[in-house]
Amino acid sequence: MRKLIMKMSVSIDGFVAGIHGELDWMFKSGDDHSSAWVLNICESAGVHLMGRKTFEVMASYWPASTNPFAAAMNEIPKAVFTKKGYHPKTEDFAHNAELPAYSSWMNARVFDAGLIEGIKELKAESGKPLLAHGGAEFMRSLIETGLIDEYHLITHPIALGTGLPIFDGLSRFLDLKLVNVQVFPGGVVAHTYCPA
């Protein structure tokens, strides 16, 4: 059975984005070591999981990117979870249509019948781990399923004051066990947790 891994950058006060979805803060404290650590996680994935909103942002960006993460993001299969019957449309991403990486995004598997059922289906398949990318809303829903096997929380040395959390409103306690801590020169600290 495949492992489901959640990877998320968080501020020291527990937010994954600014109140309007701002993400620029997370690039201020990263360094080559923390980037290499995150890249290794991305390259080790068998499928990238995401919600529709994150998918649309990433599908618009990654096919044309020369960022060191581009190969891992473009070459590894994607799964999109949506409540609205979403299917990637060529016209939405026409600016990338001529790029080789484009087809991997347009061929993403779409799950619209239910998050729990879709995750269980993917976990039952053989292969490398499933890596969840978020959006706060998708991550909150994923956490609530109780199906995450590993939590990678990359904590940045910044307090946002307000923003989008992922652990608010849980219907039950989430009891985790710290299994690894990695401290990076720029001040980022990666915490790895598993369910206790």
Concatenate the DSSP letters of all residues of 124-160 into one string: HS-SSPEEE---HHHHHHHHHHT--SEEEEEEES---
Query: What is the enclosing helix (H) or strand (E) of 130?
Result: strand 130-132
- Say what the pLDDT of residue 56 is: 86
Q: Sign of the C-alpha dihedral, residues 124, 129, 130, 132? A: positive
Tell me the backbone φ, ψ of residue 168, rounded to 5 degrees: -80, 150
What the block records as the tokens of 73 is 């993001």
- Say what the pLDDT of residue 118 is: 95
- Say what the pLDDT of residue 83 is: 82
Q: What is the pLDDT along the chain (196 residues), one digit of tens a residue?
A: 999 999 999 999 999 999 999 999 998 888 999 999 999 999 999 999 999 889 888 888 888 889 999 999 999 999 999 887 666 655 555 555 566 566 778 788 999 888 999 999 999 999 999 999 988 999 999 999 999 999 999 999 999 999 999 999 899 999 999 999 999 999 999 999 999 9
Separation CA 10–CA 165 (nearest Å): 8
For the chain, give every domain's residue range: 4-178+189-195
139 contacts 10 by C-beta, under 8 angstroms: no
- Say what the pLDDT of residue 81 is: 93
Selecting from 3.40.50.2300, 3.30.565.10, 3.40.430.10, 1.10.3720.10, what CATH number does the domain 4-178+189-195 have?
Answer: 3.40.430.10
